[in-house]
Structure 1
Amino acid sequence: ACRALVVGWSRCCAPRLHSFRLPLLCPSGIKCGGVLSAPSGNFSSPNFPGPYPYETECTWLIVVAEGSSVLLSFSHFELEYHAACAYDYLQVYNGAARDRGNLLGTFCGRSPPPPFSSAWHVMAVVFRSDRHVAKRGFAAAYRKDACGGQLTGLSGEIASPRYPESYPNDAECRWSIGGPGAGPLTLVFADFQVEGGQGCGFDYVALFDGPAATAPLLGRYCGSTRPPRTVSSSPHLLVLFKSDFNIGGRGFKAHFYSAGECQEVFTTIKGNLSSPRYPSFYPNNLKCQWSIQLPPGYRVKVFFLELDLEGRSSLTGGCDYDHLSAFDGGSESGALLGRWCGRESPAPLTSHSNHLLLALHTDRNTARRGFSITYVGVVPMNVSCTRTDFHIQIPVQSLAQLERDRIYLGTPSCAAQVVGGNFKIHTRFDTCGTESQKRNNTSVIVSTLYIDFSAGVQEDIHQYELQCEPRRKEASVTLIAGPDPARLSQAENLLDAQQREGAATDTREIKSQDTSDIVFISICILAGLLMLIAVVGLVLL
């Protein structure tokens, strides 16, 4: 175990603090890195202001009281320059070291890093030098910001002073969250207990839709009821906390994240979505939701192009850390369709309604590339066949925006008819572009169903391949073109158990479909009888 934190190690082992491991590499005799837990302090590269040693790696973990943030500034900075900082460099992390989801920046050369304010009470600084070219290095200072600060990360956490202990009297804290390039901000309170009172005139938390208190007021809160989830209309949000001269409380704890890439609603028939910053590492401490809302009658089919999240827990085997979940409907209270983590390759999934919600939850440690997903609205249809006919039935409400002639089998002359509340196509195998093929040594009848969503000059025609095995009277339907076929599996059978069950329960439809089979069998029997009579007649002659 490593007890000393600032000693001369040839290769420093990695001490742990609050589950954070510090990777340290220090030449013998060099004081390098450590845990800095005082309210303020200074640190510098080894040998500063002399040249730093070669092949050195140092990590400083700055930990201040929970509810505070770390303010970091540099008074001197001179490292070997490289356009990509590939040789000697300094990295600043908004949290635990080596966690790319929290990386605030990588720096080298002679331009000092800007001042930083952490999004929570932990900040890490990593310095690395290679075996060539040494400069004077850097000198830095940090201090605990009792409360408030300028927070520019995509996500982070804020808390009242001394949280979860009682906050001090006569406190005033301002957190200005966001900056250029960020999207709208979402703020969620995990805990809240502030002195109450009519009109919140004593202690309170006020939220402003902008960087200053002159911006529109989004809400003013006190008491023990958690404020609702708040979303700004701009990339800036100001949180103001004030306490008066007596009576306190536990205070509050909240987390924020940029909603630009993290909270989206999709209403188009097809689309793509991915985790924030994909294919780079996603930020930590996220709670993102993507809601897919299609017209009534549709179902949502999701295809996973890539999934790379933090892995499963070694203790429980579950996705206890970063995970992606899918819910049937518009909220996380809906039926869970799946939950994934690590580098899994989920099979495509289909919702049971026209709404599907995807939710990404990440913790404050360990980030990966994230995920990329494409989806398509699947038209629910019942397809069946006999030995001579195809029968297709699609609810009108699924394609309410289309005329019947935009739905056809093989050629436009074989358009659907509207019967009751359904588009129906009933056609024999020798019409509508139907052809016989041999697949896997089995004779099948194949045709193509076209659904034309084109608008103006923009062509958008979805194609479904219909296949029938006449001897077994089994039909299947496969999406073969429409929502970027190169990215979708062309072998996805879109008939699920629910559709098959629905087709099986429509007994009247089945009787009408089997009429042609009865006629076919009757003709065969009659031909056999006539042949038998002819043979008997020849024998008698």
Structure 2
Amino acid sequence: VHCGGNFTADSGVIENPNYPYDYTPNSDCVWMITVPEEYQVAIIFTMFQLEQHEDCIYDFLEFRDGHDEDSPVIARLCGYSLPENIKSTTNKMRVRFVSDASVEKYGFSFSFIKEFDECKTTNHGCHHKCVNTLGSYRCECDIGYELHSDGKSCEDACGGYLKGENGSLTSPNFPNLYPNKKRCVWEIKAHSQYRIFLNFTHFDLEGVLTNCEYDYVKVTSVDAEGAVAKVHGQFCGRIAPQFLLTSETSHLRIKFVTDSSVQKSGFAAVYFTDRDECEVDNGGCEQICKNMIGSYVCECESGYVLSNDGHHCKEGEHDFAIVVTLLLCICDFYSWQGPSGGCKFELNTAFGQLTSPGYPEDYPNDKECVWHFVTTPGHRLQLDFIEFEIEPHQDCAYDRIDVYDGSSVDAPSLGTYCGPRAPEKILSSKNELYLFFHSDSSVQRKGFQAHYTSVCGGTIRAERTVGYVYSHATYGGSNYENRVACEWTLLAEDGMSVEIQFTNFELEEEVHCEYDYVEIYDGDSENAMRLGRYCGNKQPNLFISSGPVLRVRFRADDTVTAKGFVFEYVETDPVEGLIYTEEPGPTTRPPLEPVINEKANNRFLARTAAGRRPYVH
């Protein structure tokens, strides 16, 4: 049977010999396809069934990028699955069909057309990405954005569930103009006995506060059944609410609506959660309990005054309140962008879980998701996959998970994963981790389920700006746990020193510090000098290393726990002439005074002007 030939045309159809019946054995057919200059050859399959083999060595259909026998191979196909579309890089393509002497199948039928890459022009109009398709093109957006209704512009994906203890949110495109015809809803959910505090740091919407009918932000508290418990306000104009919004329940809803006309820069807001101490037993107050940020106050009704115990009331003329406690630590490390909805997540809790989109059902096609994990400074993030099933490929070219040791895809890679086998435990080197999930347009699988936890210790690079280390990831909210063993190695540049200063310190107290304690070492070797062991609630002094390394070790036994500690660290110039005559023993007492020569005295006094006592080896 005659087969093969030359095609010089804009389009055409090619089929195997004897089509639509089984192809003939021992075939070897070659077609040469040529389309006009400035175009490429595109192949679209309508039928495909060849003898199956892993390496396609029996019957196969081969496409080469050019007319020569040694032109680059685009694809070598066999089996029963309809192939994806194929495209050359030039206006020429060589197609070869080979069958052996045994098994025959239905064969193939495909069309070829001339194809032009519209994305190579400058007038495609795509805001972010242009993706060429056969006979056309489409626009796509970077992760965290969504395509506008015009099919070309990209805008921030908006709305979503915010479950972190602290976080932030902004209007789409902030600080640039927000888009028209937008409706975004953020749901902030805290633990049942907690309240949510919302503070607007920027506010610029169309309208005036007395008439918010065009663009507005509406804030409501929602009860356990999903009904509105309280409307806190509907806001617009250029003046942000001049007060801290406090939720009535543990669920706060923020709704942002824009019309079809005027655009402004929008809004930015931060939120944090705090336990409502008045929720249980009225906070122990005899009459009135008022929840505050990190605390609560007892107050008395008219005609009564508060007793010295801060809880009970007695008859009197002057009404006053006593702040009972202050528990909340609002720290700088909670000030980042919260999730903007869609498939972009900011996870800023010490531990939690995550799943692929749609889990436990199959994940969707053409999906891109990112998870940005941030935990407490001085701690690392460990990722454990409980279930893992992603489309397999030798190079994970189709569906995959990419993990990065930092805050974005620009950070060092910790691996690319796909297939049915779950990765081993993944551990970051710092307090941030970034995970990217991608699925293509074909095969779907169940996806993944993973847990993440915070792990103390690690190696930290000291810089000229002050950094902080916390004893445990939930510092300020709960005591450290039992059976803790943490070690931090602080590194400065060669020729420099590391300086640390404890700002908070509260461990189990014992005269010899045998139970819970912190040890400081001048260096990272086994023979490094121990500068002291500390416990109790007396704050250790300032330490400066003699070299570029300082090591901090924290141990806790299995009984009593306490609030923990915080220390700040910074790279500093070496201090000469400060020598300790002996190591201080394990105690809650301050260490021995250093011997200070005259040369170093001025610098020593300057460092301790704020009342800090140094311990320098």
User: For the superposition of Structure 1 and Structure 2, which TM-score range results when normalised by the shorter chain?
Assistant: 0.3 to 0.5
Structure with higher RCO (Cα < 8 A, 6+ apart): 1
Q: Pick the structure with more helix per residue.
A: 1
TM-score normalized by the length of structure 2:
0.30
TM-score normalized by the length of structure 1:
0.34
